[in-house]
C-alpha cells in the first residue's frame, strides 16, 4: 500500500481548468466564425484555418526551439489564431495571415513568457501590425455574398460621406455589410457573449461598459439615437468588447480595474472614430488600455477586510 498523500489544503478543487476556459472561448467564437463563412464565402474558412494552424504551429515550434514545456494543449493559441482571423477580411492574402499569426504568438505572446505574461492582446497587436504593414489589403472589408451594392462597403468608411447610403440597422445586426470575417454578425457575437456569461468565463461589465460608453458618447455628441446605435453595430466594437477587452492576461485583475479598463476603451474608441483620421478605433483603444492595465490594477486595489 502506498503512503497516503501529505499536502497542504485545499483538498478539493473546482472543475475549472485553463484549457476548459479556452475551449469555452473557442465555442463562443464559433457562431461568429460560422456566420462569417456563410456571409463571406468559403475563403473565410480558409483564412480561419490558416490563422489557427499557423498560430498553433508557431507556438509548438517556439516551445520546441526554446526547449520549453509544450503549452499548445492549453488551447490559447487556437483562440489567438481564431480571433485574428475573425478580425481580418477575406481579401487578405494567406501569407499575410501566416505572418500575422506568427507575429501574434512569437513576438507578442511567447517572447514575453507565454500565456498570462503578455501585456498586449496578441490577436489585436497582430491585426494592428498587419493593418500598418499592408493597409490596402487589411483595412478594406470584403463584401458579403448576399449583399447589394449598398451594404458592400464598410459602413464606418461611409458615415459622414456626403450622400452615402448606409445599410439598414437590421442588416447591420445580421451582418449584411462589409467588414472583417467575424465582426459583422452581431447576432452571432451576442450568442457567444451569452455563452461566456453562462459559463462564467467573463463578466458582463466589460462588454456592457465598453459598448455602453461608445453608445452614450455618440448619443451626446450627435443627439441621434439611431446614429449611436449604428456606431455600436458597426466596425469591430462588439467583437472587441466581448472577446478582446475581456482577455485575462492583458486587462487588470481587479473587478473595478476591469470596469475602468472598459470605460477607457469606450472613450478612446469614440475619440478615435469621431475626431481622428482613422475610420475605426476599437483595436487601438484596446491596445492603449492594455498598456495602462497594470496601472489600473494598482489603482483599484481594494482595502482588504481588516487591513489598511
Partner 1 sequence: MRKNISTLKLPHYKGTAGKAAVRIPVPKEVLLPMNMHSGQAAEPVVAVGDHVTVGQLIAREEGRNSAPVHASVSGTVKAIEPYAAGGRKTTAIRIESDGKMEHCADLKIPQPTNLDEFLQCVRESGVVGLGGAAFPVWAKLAAAQKSHIQTVLINGAECEPFITSDHRVMLECGDLIEEGIELLRRFLESEEYIIGIEKNKPDAIEQLTERFKDDPSVKVMPLESVYPQGAKQVLLYNATGKVVGPGQRLASLGVIIINVTSLVKTAEYFTTGMPLVERIVTVEGSAVKEPKNLIVPIGTSIRDLVEACGGLTEDPGKILYGGAMMGKTVDTLDASVLKATNAVVIMNRRDAEKIKPSPCIHCGRCVAVCPLGLNPTAFARAMEMENEDARAALLQKEQVSLCMECGCCSYVCPAHRPLAENNSAARRFIRSWESARKEGGK
Query: Can you give the binding site for partner 1, defined by CB under 8 A?
Result: 1-14, 16-18, 20-21, 71, 74, 76, 114-117, 248-249, 252-255, 258, 301-308
* Residue 19: DSSP 8-state: H
Helices (H) and strands (E) in the chain, counts: 15, 0
Query: At its nearest, how many Å lie between partner 1 and the CB of residue 58?
Result: 18
> In this complex, which beta carbon is closest to partner 1, that of residue 13 or of residue 67?
13
Cell (9 digits) for 282: 476599437
> In this complex, which beta carbon is closest to partner 1, that of residue 11 or of residue 223?
11
Query: At its nearest, how many Å lie between partner 1 and the CB of residue 4?
Result: 5
> In this complex, which beta carbon is closest to partner 1, that of residue 212 or of residue 294?
294
Residue 142 C-alpha from the chain's centroid: 19
Classified as helix, coil or strand, 26 is: helix
Question: Cα–Cα distances in Å, from 308 out to 65, 214, 296, 298?
Answer: 47, 36, 19, 15
- The answer to whether residues 174 and 151 touch, using CB atoms and an 8 Å cutoff, is no
> In this complex, which beta carbon is closest to partner 1, that of residue 40 or of residue 193?
193
Residue 18 C-alpha from the chain's centroid: 18
Query: At its nearest, how many Å lie between partner 1 and the CB of residue 268?
Result: 22
Query: At its nearest, how many Å lie between partner 1 and the CB of residue 201?
Result: 9
> In this complex, which beta carbon is closest to partner 1, that of residue 114 or of residue 178?
114
Query: At its nearest, how many Å lie between partner 1 and the CB of residue 55?
Result: 17
Query: Which residues touch 29 (CB under 8 Å, ≥6 apart)?
Result: 79, 82, 83, 86, 182, 192, 243
Query: At its nearest, how many Å lie between partner 1 and the CB of residue 215?
Result: 26
- The answer to whether residues 88 and 54 touch, using CB atoms and an 8 Å cutoff, is no
> In this complex, which beta carbon is closest to partner 1, that of residue 172 or of residue 262?
262
Q: How many CA atoms lie within 13 A of 275 on its CB side?
A: 8
Amino acid at each position: 500500500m502506498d503512503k497516503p498523500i501529505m499536502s497542504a489544503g485545499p483538498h478539493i478543487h473546482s472543475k475549472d481548468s485553463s484549457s476548459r476556459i479556452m475551449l469555452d472561448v473557442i465555442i463562443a467564437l464559433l457562431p461568429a466564425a460560422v456566420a462569417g463563412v456563410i456571409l463571406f464565402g468559403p475563403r473565410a474558412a480558409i483564412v480561419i484555418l490558416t490563422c489557427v494552424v499557423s498560430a498553433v504551429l508557431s507556438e509548438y515550434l517556439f516551445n520546441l526551439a526554446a526547449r520549453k514545456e509544450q503549452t499548445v494543449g492549453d488551447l490559447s493559441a487556437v483562440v489567438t489564431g481564431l480571433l485574428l482571423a475573425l478580425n481580418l477580411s477575406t481579401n487578405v492574402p494567406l501569407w499575410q495571415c501566416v505572418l500575422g499569426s506568427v507575429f501574434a504568438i512569437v513576438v507578442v505572446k511567447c517572447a514575453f513568457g507565454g500565456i498570462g505574461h503578455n501585456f498586449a492582446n496578441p490577436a489585436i497587436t497582430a491585426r494592428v501590425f498587419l493593418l500598418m504593414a499592408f493597409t490596402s489589403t487589411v483595412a478594406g472589408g470584403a463584401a458579403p455574398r448576399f449583399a447589394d451594392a449598398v451594404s458592400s462597403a464598410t459602413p464606418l468608411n461611409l458615415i459622414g460621406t456626403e450622400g452615402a447610403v448606409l445599410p439598414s440597422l437590421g442588416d447591420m445586426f445580421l451582418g449584411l455589410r462589409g467588414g472583417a470575417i467575424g465582426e459583422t454578425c452581431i447576432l452571432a457575437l451576442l450568442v457567444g457573449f451569452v455563452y461566456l456569461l453562462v459559463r462564467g468565463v467573463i463578466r458582463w461589465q466589460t462588454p456592457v461598459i465598453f459598448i455602453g460608453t461608445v453608445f452614450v458618447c455618440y448619443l451626446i455628441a450627435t443627439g441621434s439615437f439611431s446614429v449611436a446605435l449604428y456606431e455600436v453595430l458597426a466596425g469591430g466594437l462588439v467583437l472587441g468588447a466581448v472577446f478582446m477587452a475581456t482577455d485575462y492576461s492583458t486587462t487588470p485583475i481587479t473587478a473595478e480595474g476591469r470596469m475602468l479598463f472598459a470605460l477607457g476603451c469606450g472613450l478612446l474608441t469614440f475619440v478615435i472614430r469621431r475626431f481622428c483620421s482613422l475610420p475605426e478605433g476599437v483595436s487601438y483603444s484596446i491596445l492603449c488600455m492594455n498598456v495602462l492595465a497594470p496601472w489600473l490594477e494598482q489603482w483599484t486595489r481594494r482595502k482588504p477586510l481588516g487591513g489598511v
